[in-house]
C-alpha cells in the first residue's frame, strides 16, 4: 500500500525515500523501536542533500506509529502520514502471555544467553490470523 503512495509522489516530482526500518522482515526487529527512528534522521539528511526543503514522514502499520512518534518530537516537519497505524506495543506488552515471554527473554539475556533462540508469543498478523509462537532472537527484548 505505501509503495503505491510513494510511487505516485515520485511521479508527481517529489523526492521520496523508503528506508528499510529495523522492524522490517529483512532486519527482523534488530533494535528497539525508539532506536529505529534514527533511520528517519539519516534519511532526512539524504533527502535534504538532494534538495528537499520540506519533509513529510509517513508509514503504514508500525511505520504509521513510527511516523507519529517521530513527528511528536520533530515539530519542523511539514506533515505526517500515518496509514493504518499499527499496534500499541506498550499495551500489548501487558497481556499475560506477552508479558511472560518478555520476562523469560529478559531473564535469559541477563544470564548471558542473549544470542540464543527461543519460542515466544508473537502477535504479528498473517492473512490467516495470528502467527503461532516462533523462534526469535532474545536480544530484541532487552
Q: Which of 3, 6, 71 is nearest to 37 (CA)?
A: 71
Confidence of residue 1 (pLDDT cuts 50, 70, 90): low
Q: What is the pLDDT of residues 51-104, one digit of tens each?
A: 999 999 999 888 898 999 999 999 999 999 998 887 777 778 888 888 898 898
Rg over alpha carbons for the chain, rounded to the nearest Å, is: 17
126 phi/psi in degrees, rounded to 5:
-115, 175
Domain spans of the chain? 2-86, 90-141
Q: What is the pLDDT of residues 26-50, one digit of tens each?
A: 777 777 778 889 999 999 999 999 9
Q: Which of 79, 140, 78 is nearest to 104 (CA)?
A: 140
Amino acid at each position: 500500500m505505501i509503495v503505491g503512495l510513494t510511487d505516485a509522489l515520485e511521479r508527481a516530482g517529489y523526492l521520496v525515500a523508503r528506508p528499510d526500518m529495523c522492524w522490517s522482515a529483512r532486519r527482523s526487529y534488530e533494535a528497539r523501536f525508539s532506536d529505529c527512528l534514527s533511520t528517519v534522521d539519516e534519511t532526512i539528511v539524504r533527502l535534504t542533500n538532494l534538495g528537499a526543503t520540506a519533509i513529510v514522514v509517513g508509514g503504514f502499520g508500525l511505520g504509521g506509529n513510527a511516523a507519529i512518534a517521530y513527528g511528536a518530537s520533530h515539530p519542523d516537519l511539514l506533515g505526517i502520514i500515518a496509514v493504518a497505524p499499527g499496534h500499541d506495543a506498550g499495551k500489548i506488552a501487558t497481556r499475560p502471555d506477552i508479558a511472560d515471554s518478555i520476562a523469560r527473554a529478559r531473564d535469559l539475556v541477563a544470564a548471558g544467553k542473549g544470542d540464543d533462540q527461543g519460542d515466544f508469543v508473537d502477535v504479528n498478523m498473517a492473512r490467516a490470523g495470528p502467527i503461532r509462537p516462533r523462534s526469535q532472537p532474545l536480544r530484541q527484548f532487552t
